[in-house]
Amino acid sequence: MYAGACRVPNTQDKHIKMYLDDGWKLYQQMVEDTPPNIQVLNSLVLMFSNALNPIGLETKVLPEYTKHRIQHDVYTYQHLTKMYLNMLDLDKVIELYRKCLAAKIAPNKLMLSTVLEAGLRKEDSDVVYDVLTSYVELKQEPHIRQLKTLSMLKHIPDRLFVLIRKNFNVQGKIGLQTR
């Protein structure tokens, strides 16, 4: 409930702080009786992420994973990357994506969409290529808006051009300006 409330447009900062404080107090009371699991910790990540509060995440929530020996999962990374994209910290989005892959966690479609958006905004063809390769492995396609952005690219490396042409429906428009 608090995670959703933190995301409501025009919510005053004092109310968001109240939701975060109350959610954290409830978590602390719960931990006195029962150790947390991944779902509980991920719900805290979602709440702090929706509040765009990376300091609270890094000082309160993320240390709880280590303390309780709980490994991050795809949803942990999904919530974190979405927050950093909303904060326009594109380098952090890509860093988290690489950490996720290094931990041998397969990203889901929502996370891939977030990382692809960061790669497109940074104009980082290596990240775009890696993410599109993951989409191919999942037998999925990026959001239509992202495909349209890809189709409008003017300067595109050959390997990315081939990957897009071979695997994604962009109505034959990709690279027409340069090919």
Q: What is the CATH number of the domain that holds 12?
A: 1.25.40.10
Asked whether 134 and 112 are in contact (CB, 8 A), the reply is yes
Mind listing the pLDDT tens digit for each residue in 62-81? 999 999 999 999 999 999 99
Calculate the CA dihedral of residues 114, 116, 120, 125 and round it to 10 degrees: 150
Half-sphere exposure of 44 toward its Cβ, with a 13 Å CA cutoff? 26
pLDDT for residue 126 is more than 50:
yes
Q: How many C-beta atoms lie closer than 10 Å to residue 172's C-beta?
A: 9
CA distances from 171 to 45, 135, 161, 166 (A): 39, 18, 14, 12
The pLDDT score that the predictor gives to residue 178 is 42
The pLDDT score that the predictor gives to residue 166 is 87
Query: Within a domain: residue 167?
Result: no
Asked whether 64 and 41 are in contact (CB, 8 A), the reply is yes
Burial status of residue 97 (CB atoms within 10 A of its CB: 0-12, 13-18, 19 or more): buried
The pLDDT score that the predictor gives to residue 91 is 97
Q: What's the total number of domains in the chain?
A: 1
Q: What is the mean pLDDT of the chain?
A: 90
Query: Within a domain: residue 78?
Result: yes
Asked whether 125 and 157 are in contact (CB, 8 A), the reply is yes
Query: Within a domain: residue 114?
Result: yes
H helix and E strand count, the chain: 11, 0
Query: Within a domain: residue 166?
Result: no
Query: Within a domain: residue 151?
Result: no
Q: Which of 65-69, 108-112, 120-124 has the lowest mean pLDDT?
A: 120-124
Confidence class for position 6, pLDDT limits 50, 70, 90: confident
Mind listing the pLDDT tens digit for each residue in 168-178? 866 555 554 44
Query: Within a domain: residue 164?
Result: no
Of 123 and 63, the structure prediction assigns the larger pLDDT to: 63
Q: Which domain holds residue 57?
A: 2-140
Tell the residue number behind the tokens 């999904």, with chain if given.
78
Burial status of residue 48 (CB atoms within 10 A of its CB: 0-12, 13-18, 19 or more): buried
Verdict on whether the full-model pTM lies above 0.85:
yes
